[in-house]
Chains A and B, each alone.
Chain A
Amino acid sequence: MKSKVPLYLLSLIAYLGMPLGVIWMNRIYEERHVFVLGMPLLLFWMVLWILLGVGIMLLVHRLNPDNLEEEKEATE
């Protein structure tokens, strides 16, 4: 079985990206009142990370060796 460590690391990025980024985003917003795509920066950041998080996890899902193994088990 292939190592799942890289997949865990990717998952960690998907998990931490949103909360850690909020710290800077709110600071920038307080100083400059930035709007992106019509949304206040903080809200944009949340939406962006939902999409990024799903994107990263879709990649993880494609690479996840468990899926292949289960398929093998099912056809056996």
Chain B
Amino acid sequence: MSHQAISISIIGIFLVLALYLGIRASKGKKMSLEEWSVGGRGFGTALIFLLMAGELYTVNALMGISGWAFGRGGAAFYNITMLNFIIGYWLLPKIWKYGKEHHLISQSDFFIKKYNSPALGIFVAVVGFISMIPYLIIQLKGLGLIISEASYGAISPTAAIWIGVIAVTVYVMISGIHGSAWTAVIKDILIVVVVVFLGLYLPIHYYGGIGDMFRAVENAKPGFLGLEDKGYSTSWYVSSLILLSFGYYMWPHGFIATYSGKNARSIRKNTLMLPLYMLFTLFVLFIGTSAVLQVDGVSNNDIAIFAIVKQTFSPWVVGLLGAAGLLTAIVPGSMLLMTTASLIANNVVKALRPRTDDRTVMSLARWLVPVVAAVALIFTFNSGSAILLLMLSGYGFVSQLTPAVVTSFMKRNPLNKYGVFAGVTVGVLIVAYINLIGATMGTFFPAAPSWFQDLNVGIVALLANIVVSLIVSTATRSLSASRGSAAAERAAVKGA
């Protein structure tokens, strides 16, 4: 068999297996909207863990992080952090408990209940939607790149994206969250095996060992494995570690995964395991670093991992890496599609027309899956530079919800619906602006010392959001008091 045929067959086998398991998982279950999107709240620790971890083992984890290690050295090490698990340990059980008490199935429901405002629920759904579309596009673009690389160019990125999208759409429509959970199982096993193997084999093969590899790189490029003095410097690194720990649990599908837990304890246990799962990143960093002195000139750092694997191994291994890559795009992709579809059906359409019955909402959600997929496809194929830049901002967008979620668990929430609406709007606009013009702290504070200019610029958006939320909430306090927010306060006290 030719190189292409071998690696394409391996990828194909895994695709079919993933589909089969996903579809089989839904057999014999009555599918209400709650069952379809949160698995009837009956998942134990193991499955929730896999769903949440599915968020970590994405296309970015495989291609992006190895690409950073290859191109930027020490700055890539921040990827191994999991500071967010400490925030999650305390925050998620509260979200779960509140969700269970009030039978919530989405993130919008959470805001509606907490802030006693259906309009805020719709607003949050819209923020979730504009955050997830870029994220979905990143998965699709990554999918195209992986398959075209793994097939030695036999399948074009465009064809690969079509195949992937059709597969994901079909199984999301049939099985909902069960499909995601079971495919996540194969994905995680496959990717861990492949990445750990490559992360050990490549350094030993080319340098004699991991320590030898790092020394060789250090000798050839002194300082490469540390941080830069300017730009990707220590202050950038430290501020990014902290800033990135806030947004992780704010994705709409993060709420769904949390709600699907059996009890608060299983959620806590879960957050404790997440960082260990993250140690996997270490092996991705090894792979990326091993390419530094072996691969020269790739068109795009993201394909460094494929460049080194192709020059080292037979097509069998390339096919396995391709299959692992395919699944890292499909699993998060399916979660994103499902969440986006139920978000629109439940939190926008049903919110605007409350008399729609649950069966209609459910079938609407199901049929919105291909629609959302089509929207993402259009953007994926036509993304001009402006949209490409906006893509980077999905994480920045959802992070803006953090303050409102955290304060909602305080005994006396300093924020009200007006404040949250204003603050999040300001935060999202600043994030979009920053990404569109490629702003840094230096853009806003040109006279500041260099350590300050290197701080992660996302801090500006989050601080502006907090300040505006507080000011507007305080200013409108009397307004909401006169409009019967006694009920809201009662609800808030109950929730806390």
A residues with a Cβ closer than 8 A to B are 8, 11, 14-15, 18-20, 22-23, 26-27, 29-30, 33, 35, 37-40, 42-43, 46-47, 50, 53-54, 57-58, 60-61, 64, 66-67, 70-71, 74
Q: Is B4 an interface residue (CB 8 A)?
A: no
CB atoms of A47 and B74 under 8 A apart: no
Total A-B Cβ pairs within 8 A: 106
Q: Is B225 an interface residue (CB 8 A)?
A: yes
Q: How far is the CA of A31 from the CA of B214 in the complex (A)?
A: 17
Q: Which residues of A contact B265 (CB under 8 A)?
A: 67, 70-71
Q: Is B215 an interface residue (CB 8 A)?
A: yes
B residues with a Cβ closer than 8 A to A are 74, 77-78, 80-83, 85-87, 89-90, 93, 209-212, 214-215, 218, 222-223, 225-227, 234, 237-238, 241-242, 245, 263-265, 268-269, 272, 275-276, 278-279, 282, 285
Which of B82, B87, B245 has the most chain A CB within a 10 Å cutoff?
Answer: B82
CB atoms of B74 and A42 under 8 A apart: yes
12 A-B contacts (beta carbon < 8 Å): A18-B241, A26-B227, A27-B234, A43-B285, A46-B78, A46-B80, A53-B86, A57-B89, A57-B272, A61-B269, A70-B263, A70-B265
Supposing A15-B83, A19-B242, A54-B275 touch, asked if A30 and B215 sit within 8 A by C-beta, the answer is no
Could you tell me the dominant secondary structure of chain A's interface residues?
helix
CB atoms of A19 and B238 under 8 A apart: yes
* Min C-beta distance of B242 to chain A, whole Å: 6
CB atoms of A35 and B234 under 8 A apart: no
CB atoms of B83 and A57 under 8 A apart: no
CB atoms of A30 and B223 under 8 A apart: yes
Contact for B226 among A30, A53, A54, A67, CB less than 8 A: A30
Could you tell me the dominant secondary structure of chain B's interface residues?
helix
Q: How far is the CA of A27 from the CA of B214 in the complex (A)?
A: 18
CB atoms of A23 and B225 under 8 A apart: no
5 new A-B contacts at CB < 8 Å, known A53-B85, A54-B275: A18-B81, A29-B226, A54-B272, A70-B264, A71-B265
CB atoms of B272 and A58 under 8 A apart: yes
Task: Pick the 5 closest A-B CB pairs, nearest first.
Answer: A38-B211, A40-B225, A19-B241, A19-B238, A29-B226
Q: Considering the complex, give the chain B residue whose CB is closest to the CB of A46.
A: B80
Q: Considering the complex, give the chain B residue whose CB is closest to the CB of A40.
A: B225
* Min C-beta distance of A17 to chain B, whole Å: 10
* Min C-beta distance of A7 to chain B, whole Å: 9
Which of B215, B227, B237, B264 has the most chain A CB within a 10 Å cutoff?
Answer: B227
Supposing A40-B225, A42-B225, A43-B77 touch, asked if A66 and B272 sit within 8 A by C-beta, the answer is no
CB atoms of A53 and B275 under 8 A apart: yes
CB atoms of A46 and B77 under 8 A apart: yes
Q: Which residues of A contact B269 (CB under 8 A)?
A: 61
Supposing A20-B238, A30-B226, A46-B80 touch, asked if A66 and B93 sit within 8 A by C-beta, the answer is yes
Q: Which residues of B contact A57 (CB under 8 A)?
A: 85-86, 89, 272
* Min C-beta distance of B75 to chain A, whole Å: 10
Q: Considering the complex, give the chain A residue whose CB is closest to the CB of B69.
A: A43
Q: Considering the complex, give the chain A residue whose CB is closest to the CB of B86.
A: A15
Q: Considering the complex, give the chain A residue whose CB is closest to the CB of B94.
A: A66
Contact for B238 among A22, A33, A70, CB less than 8 A: A22
Q: Which residues of A contact B89 (CB under 8 A)?
A: 11, 57, 60-61
* Min C-beta distance of A18 to chain B, whole Å: 7
* Min C-beta distance of B262 to chain A, whole Å: 11
* Min C-beta distance of A22 to chain B, whole Å: 6
